[in-house]
Chains A and B, each alone.
Chain A
């Protein structure tokens, strides 16, 4: 059982390594979207400092959603997805492994890049820790919920925009609590409660999302 999961993760990471451009496009998209806001909203530091967490979180959310169709679409096209459906290992676990690999490739880079962008927004240094921690807890939840959306819209025309329409409402709680964590830190309330809540989201999503995505996959491949 474990060998299969390790094999799936290793394969996906190998594929991502072989096609590095996919990883970079997600990261560059994240950086570009964040850099657009000062151009749009004006460069005054005071303004940028207040909108920094919100902007970085929304950009991370959009970037991770952009990378979602890479999760199943390619496997569906070349038939490997059917082999996963017919494997002796429960599909939920395979989906969890794939989502973990997907997060390592498209979620983690965002978390590591966020402090650099926070500098751009002149965010006070003590808040960096909370920002990175909230993203580290939040982006896996985005990938997990996104996996359900990706599975539902497999092979459907207009997939990209449709995926966004399905998944964005479900991202709202994660966005509010995630961006709110830094906000609460700034207003002196302390981000303890928010980070714990994000961790709770992560645990619940990790427990249920892969199985729901597995059901959705079986429906889509039929």
Chain B
């Protein structure tokens, strides 16, 4: 384990902004993609319910 303590870990040898900047954006985008996808899935299912309602109310 090459970190003194948590504060040392987060300082990341002075490059905290760059390292955490990249990691935060990367995993933030991945999570955002999943959230958008689930929303799209909900919209698609709602559309089906809507058209089913229209077909045989």
Does A touch B (CB under 8 Å) in the complex? no
Q: Which positions in A face B, CB cutoff 8 Å?
A: none
